[in-house]
Amino acid sequence: MQSVILATTRLFAILGDPIAQVGSPRVFNPLMAKAGADAVLLPMHVTPADLKTAFQGIKTIRNFDGLIFTIPHKMAAMGLVDEVSMTGQLVGAINVARRESDGRWIGDMFDGRGCVRGLKDQGDDPEGKAVLLVGAGGGGSAVACGLAEAGAARMTIHDVDKAKAERLVDTVRRGYPGVPVALGAPDPTGHNLVVNCTPLGMKPDDPLPLQAEKLEAGTVLVDIVLKPDWTKLLEAARQRGCRTMNGIAMLRGQSMEIARFFGFG
C-alpha cells in the first residue's frame, strides 16, 4: 500500500454519502501498490447537494485521474462527465470516471462487468448461458447488460414490479438485439445461470426471491447480496448441487475491472 503521498502521486477517490462503510480503499490501494503505481485512492464524503461542486473542483486538480461513485451518486454522476459509455447510457448510471489525456472525463458502469469477471474467474463463463435474472432495479439493470454483453444465449427477467421488468427487457433489446429476452416467472427451470439482483436475503426472515426448489444440479446461482455473504438462497442452491457465487466475489471482480479501467489491472 502507498505509505507516502508524494508530489508525483496520482490521485483517485471514491465519492459517497455516507462514506465510512466503503471498502474500495482497502481493495484499490493494495492493487495500485502491487502494480508499482505512485497512486492512492481516497474516500471522500460528498452529499448529493455538493456533488456537482465537488466534481468541478476535482476537475481543476491536475493530478486527479479518476473517481468511483457509490450510493447515492451513480445516476447524478452521469450528467457530470463529458462522455458516457454505451453500458452507462443503457443502465442510466455510471460508477466510475476517468480523466483522458485531452482533459475530458469518461464515465462507465462496471457493476455488471464485475459479475461477469467474478463468474469467469471461477470458471463459469456466462457466454452461451440461458439466464434467469430476478430483480430489475439498478443492480439488476447493470448485471443484465453485463451478461448480455458477455454473450448470454437468452435471458428471462422477473421483478415483482412488472413495469420495471418491462423497462429492463426493452433496455436489453435495444442494447443487445442479438440476445433474446423476455419477461417470465421466477422459475429457474430451463436456465443454467440464475442471478438474484433483489435485496431479498439481507434479512434472516426474508422470503426466497425465486423458486429455489426447482434449481437443478449444475446450475450456476449468483446472489449479489453483500451482507450476509452466505444467504439462504445460496445455501438452498448448494444443497441442490448448484455452483454458486456470492456478492463478495462479484465485488472483487468489479474491483479488478475498475482497476484495469484506471490502468492498474
The Cα–Cα gap between 162 and 209 comes to 15
CA-CA distance, 133 to 131, in Å (whole number)?
6
Segment (H or E) for 168: helix 162-175
What DSSP string describes 58-85?
HHT-TTEEEEEE-TT-HHHHTTTSSEE-
What pLDDT digit, counting tens, does each position of 86-110 carry? 999 999 999 999 999 999 999 999 9
Is the CA virtual torsion 14, 17, 20, 24 positive or negative? negative
Cα dihedral across residues 148, 150, 153, 159: positive or negative: negative
Indicate where the chain has its CATH 3.40.50.10860 domain(s): 10-109
Among 1-5, 40-44, 67-71, name the one with the lowest average pLDDT. Answer: 1-5
Residues of the chain above pLDDT 70, percent = 98
Confidence of residue 27 (pLDDT cuts 50, 70, 90): confident
The least confident of 29-33, 51-55, 196-200, 214-218 is 29-33
Q: How far apart are CA 40 and CA 33, in angstroms?
A: 9
Angle, CA 173 vertex, CA 172 and CA 177 arms, to 5°: 115
Cα–Cα distance for residue pair 210/175, rounded to 1 Å? 26
- Report d(CA 213, CA 207) in Å as an integer: 13
C-alpha cell, 67: 473517481
What span, in angstroms and rounded, lies between the C-alpha atoms of 106 and 132? Answer: 31
The rounded mean pLDDT for the chain is: 95
Secondary element (H or E) of residue 227 = none
Selection from 12-21, 159-168, 221-230, 254-263 with the highest mean pLDDT: 159-168
Task: Judge whether 74 counts as a catalytic residue.
Answer: yes
Can you give the pTM of this predicted structure? 0.88
Q: Which of 74, 120, 162, 214 is catalytic?
A: 74
Q: What is the pLDDT of residue 31?
A: 87
CA separation for the pair 147, 112 (Å, rounded): 7
**Residue 233 vs residues 3, 199, 204, 242: alpha-carbon distances, Å:** 41, 12, 11, 11
List where CATH 3.40.50.720 sits in the chain.
112-251
Interval 142-156: pLDDT, tens = 999 999 999 999 999
- Write the class of the CATH domain 10-109: alpha beta
Find the mean pLDDT for residues 12-23.
Answer: 91
Q: Is 112-251 assigned to CATH 3.40.50.720?
A: yes
Q: How far is CA 40 from the centre of its chain?
A: 22
Q: What is the pLDDT of residue 3?
A: 61
Residue 214 in this model has a pLDDT that exceeds 90: yes
